[in-house]
Structure 1
Amino acid sequence: MDLALLGRTLMKLGEASIPTEGIGGHGTSAQSVIIVAADIKAHPGTPVKDVAARTGFPQSKVSACVARLREAGAVETHTDPADRRRTLISPARTASPRVAEVRSADIDGVLTRVLEDPERLDEVKAALRVLAEHLGPSALTRLGD
């Protein structure tokens, strides 16, 4: 099995399930924003520099993703009390309406469109739940460099 190809396919399916009505254009891809959001969730109170190091993205790309996430109400930023020149990023304490909308997005329609046998939708969703349980964002932390 080509894990990289499966991962890319799952990422594209996830992106396709995100509602996009009324959010306008952005210079950052949904995939980049998702990766940055997952890193921030796994490492709350983190500076942009550290997110860039963990994701492999340039700091400018991480900053653009953080701006998009802040605009959506998904993250909050605050000045680092230990170094006032640094900004720390954390998941928002309360989900904004946009974040709640994305989190509640239904994947059934996307999966039904791409499955060769739509009758297996429940089986595929069960498999995805198992993968999510065992291979969530914290798995990347355990992987290390």
Structure 2
Amino acid sequence: MNGVELFLLGRTLMKIGEEAMPTEGLRGQSTSVRSVLIVASDIVENPGSAVGEIAGRTGLPQSQVSGCVARLREAGAVVTEPDPADRRRVLIHQAPEASGRVEVVRSTTIDTALGTALGTGDPDAVAEVVAALETLAQQLTPATLSRLRPPSSRSRSSAVDG
């Protein structure tokens, strides 16, 4: 496998992941699942950040980060508080307890979306691919990315990632 093949595999996996996300009860959203997940991940890794800081690290436009934070707040996934040092800024934290929406997202498997993408109804084939993905997920965590390049270059390349 080369870098292009790995990149395309990653893109395919992202699309399957997006398809697997439950959407029941959600009204139309101005932000993509991908950008919301990027912002949520950054908030978990950097609690107490402001929107501008998240935008800088992720490479997403500040307006898009604000939309993602609003969506996450509505879902009960994050909480906000005024910055004591600058009351005009809002600091964002992961919610201390998982909301009902977060629990639904966490409990929804990828099996149906994966089976559709594979073009098979064979549960053994789906289980085999799920097992392979679980192995990859154990080895290639978000922390893995920090070993690829120094933090200063990550923020510049993130605009391409999102």
Residue of structure 1 equivalent to 2:129? 124
For residues 1-145 of structure 1, the aligned pairs below 5 Å read 1=1, 2-115=5-118, 118=122, 119-143=124-148, 144=151, 145=154
Q: Match of 1:134, as an amino acid?
A: Q
Give unmatched runs, 5+ long, in structure 2: 155-162
Shift of the alpha carbon at 1:83?
Answer: 2.5
Identical pairs, percent: 57
Answer yes or no: is the 8 Å Cα contact 1:39–1:137 preserved in 2.
no
CA 102–7 in structure 1, closer or farther in 2 if over 3 Å, else same:
same
- Rg bigger for which structure? 2
Structure showing greater relative contact order (alpha-carbon pairs closer than 8 Å, 6 or more residues apart): 2
Q: For 2:80 and 2:140, how far apart are their aligned partners in 1?
A: 27
Q: For structure 1, which segment, 55-64 or 135-144, has the greater mean C-alpha deviation from structure 2 after superposition?
A: 135-144
Alignment coverage as a number of residue pairs: 145
| CA-atom RMSD in angstroms | 1.7
What is the TM-score of this pair, normalised by structure 2? Answer: 0.81
- Of the structure 1 ranges 117-126 and 15-24, higher mean CA displacement relative to structure 2 is found in 117-126
Q: What per-residue deviation string (whole Å, max 9, x for no partner) do you get for residues 35-80 of structure 1? A: 1111111111111111111111110100000000100111111112
Unaligned runs of 5+ in 1: none
Q: Which residue of 1 aligns with 2:158?
A: none
- TM, length-normalised to structure 1: 0.90
CA distance in 1, matches of 2:146, 2:76: 24
